[in-house]
């Protein structure tokens, strides 16, 4: 994130503000403020068409609720007539200039919040629906993160004003675009991670880091994929795939029930199923639960499917993708246990000759093409090329016994491959492909020495924006830390990479037991 000042799009037309006299500008304000759209004013202009066009552009920019058009008088003079748009025109365009893209893209910096919670706060402060926001992927709460967000027809200036009231969040780098962001529309993520109080043999530590860089790690979905609550998100996903809407609602409202300020609301819901009363007790920070309760208020439990639609689509998809990821993790464990870290005949690889742009496009559209390894082609590939499918109704499975592994796991949850082609398209899983082993990209690391356990050992993007630098004596400290930087493709988890180095549990429950 490089700035917090609103930036208009590059193709914005040049506006000549001096074309309007203060007298004409006052008259236009009066027309704009008038509730009636019958009042209009006429302004004489020159015969030059380019000058008239510049005038129309100026009206659109300074008075987007007005419309202007050129007329010719009886004596042949050109005049511009300006009047207020009809209510239907205002609703249709929302007073949004026609030259401007409908979506404002911006960078969101956040601390100690996942993307859904952060977007919930933005929607509250802006008084717009959370569904008006879109992003390419969800960023974890247990990190300081920066990501691109898009929102429908909210001005850069209005977004920028939020920086005065946001805590541990910042928005900036605004542009207007014709299209919103879409889930999966990114290559990946860049990580900067500090491992504190690192002990043990220096040579062993160095070998572990080199092994991660050169050989990679098993590409499991991390624990974040399954939520940090007592009820994992894949349980919600299973309920949705079974079309058991009531169960899904109870599970979602129960996700944070262990937290003190949520327990009262959860107990009230369990006893009464009264969405209105429960909403009065549900904390404002529980944006997903509150959106769901508002959906129940409108549709009732008899139409629970539509009530669930009040939750942003990305979040609802996250639940079924969580279940899909659980199945993949179980299958890849069997694959590695059965065949080890080498390609075998019948494995799948992505077809060659795809550009990086093709890869991103196919990921979004789920049209990746794969081929089966044969005795003739197996020597052309390594384990880093092999993929396994995430279960879906439109994927190819390896030709060895792994297809039966998928069926066995799904059957254990009373789910079939046919059920993944859900009648509610938001919950339909066409499937995709994921590499078994992943190597970090551009991985570097350095070792730091320190004494004070509370001081930061790296700088954030916000620190850089504010001109702060890291003040640290890296030679005199008694404690050692490793600072790593690397990139991973989307949906690959840094926690799984770190597990190869630390050989410890990366779950939140275990990490909170550590002292440093």
- Under DSSP, the state recorded for 75 is T
Q: What string of H, E and C letters represents the secondary structure of 351-381?
A: CCCCCHHHHHHHHHHCCCCEEECCCCCHHHC
Nearest to 184 by CA among 414, 313, 427, 361: 361
Helix (H) or strand (E) run with residue 438 in it: strand 437-438
CA distances from 238 to 211, 264, 311, 335, 410 (A): 37, 26, 17, 24, 10
**Pairwise CA distance, residues 149 & 139, whole Å:** 11
Catalytic residue, candidates 140, 261, 303, 394: 140
Give the number of other CB atoms < 10 A from CB of residue 483.
Answer: 17
Q: Are 298 and 307 in contact (CB under 8 A)?
A: yes
Q: Which two tokens stand for residue 371?
A: 């081929």
H runs (alpha helix) in 353-483? 356-365, 402-412, 461-465
- By CB neighbour count within 10 A (0-12 exposed, 13-18 middle, 19+ buried), where does 19 fall? middle
Close Cβ partners of 438 (under 8 Å, ≥ 6 residues apart): 216, 217, 219, 384, 488, 489, 492, 497
Instruction: Indicate the SS3 state at residue 89.
Output: helix
Is 140 in the active site?
Answer: yes
Give the number of other CB atoms < 10 A from CB of residue 22.
Answer: 7
Hey, which residues are catalytic here? 140
């Amino acid at each position: 994130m490089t700035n917090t000042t609103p930036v208009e799009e590059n193709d914005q037309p040049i506006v000549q503000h001096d074309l309007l006299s203060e007298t004409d500008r006052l008259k236009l304000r009066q027309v704009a403020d008038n509730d009636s759209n019958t009042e209009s004013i006429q302004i004489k202009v020159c015969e030059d068409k380019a000058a008239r066009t510049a005038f129309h552009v100026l009206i659109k920019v300074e008075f987007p609720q007005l419309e202007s058009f050129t007329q010719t008088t009886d004596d042949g003079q050109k005049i511009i007539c300006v009047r207020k748009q009809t209510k239907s025109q205002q609703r249709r365009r929302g007073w949004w200039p026609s030259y401007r893209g409908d979506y404002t893209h911006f960078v969101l910096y956040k601390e100690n919040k996942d993307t859904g919670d952060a977007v919930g706060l933005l929607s509250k402060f802006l008084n717009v629906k959370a569904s008006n926001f879109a992003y390419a992927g969800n960023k974890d709460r247990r990190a300081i993160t920066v990501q691109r967000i898009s929102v429908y027809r909210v001005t850069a200036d209005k977004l920028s004003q939020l920086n005065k009231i946001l805590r541990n969040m910042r928005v900036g780098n605004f542009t207007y675009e014709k299209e919103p962001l879409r889930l999966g529309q990114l290559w990946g993520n860049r990580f900067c991670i500090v491992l504190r109080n690192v002990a043990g043999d220096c040579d062993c530590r160095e070998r572990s880091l080199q092994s991660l860089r050169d050989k990679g790690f098993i590409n499991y979905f991390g624990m974040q994929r399954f939520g940090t609550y007592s009820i994992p998100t894949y349980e919600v996903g299973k309920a949705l795939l079974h079309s058991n809407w009531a169960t899904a609602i109870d599970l979602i409202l129960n996700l944070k029930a262990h937290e003190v300020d949520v327990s009262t609301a959860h107990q009230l819901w369990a006893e009464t199923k009264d969405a209105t009363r429960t909403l009065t007790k549900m904390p404002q920070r529980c944006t997903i639960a509150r959106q769901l309760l508002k959906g129940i208020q409108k549709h009732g439990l008899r139409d629970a499917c539509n009530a669930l639609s009040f939750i942003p689509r990305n979040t609802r998809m996250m639940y079924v993708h969580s279940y899909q990821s659980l199945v993949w993790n179980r299958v890849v464990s069997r694959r590695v246990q059965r065949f080890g870290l080498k390609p075998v005949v019948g494995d799948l690889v992505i077809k060659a000759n795809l550009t990086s742009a093709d890869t991103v496009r196919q990921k979004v559209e789920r049209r990746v093409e794969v081929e089966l390894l044969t005795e003739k082609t197996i020597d052309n590939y390594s384990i880093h090329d092999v993929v396994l499918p995430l279960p879906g109704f439109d994927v190819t499975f390896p030709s060895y016994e792994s297809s039966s592994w998928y069926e066995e796991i799904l059957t254990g949850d009373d789910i079939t491959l046919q059920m993944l082609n859900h009648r509610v398209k938001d919950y339909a899983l066409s499937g995709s492909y994921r590499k078994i082993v992943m190597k970090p990209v551009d991985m570097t690391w350095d070792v730091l020495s320190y004494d004070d356990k509370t001081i930061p050992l790296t700088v954030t993007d916000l620190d850089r924006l504010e001109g702060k630098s890291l003040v640290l004596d890296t030679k005199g400290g008694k404690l050692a830390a490793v600072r790593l930087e690397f990139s991973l493709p989307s949906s690959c988890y840094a926690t799984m990479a770190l597990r190869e180095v630390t050989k410890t549990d990366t779950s939140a429950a275990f990490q909170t037991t550590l002292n440093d």
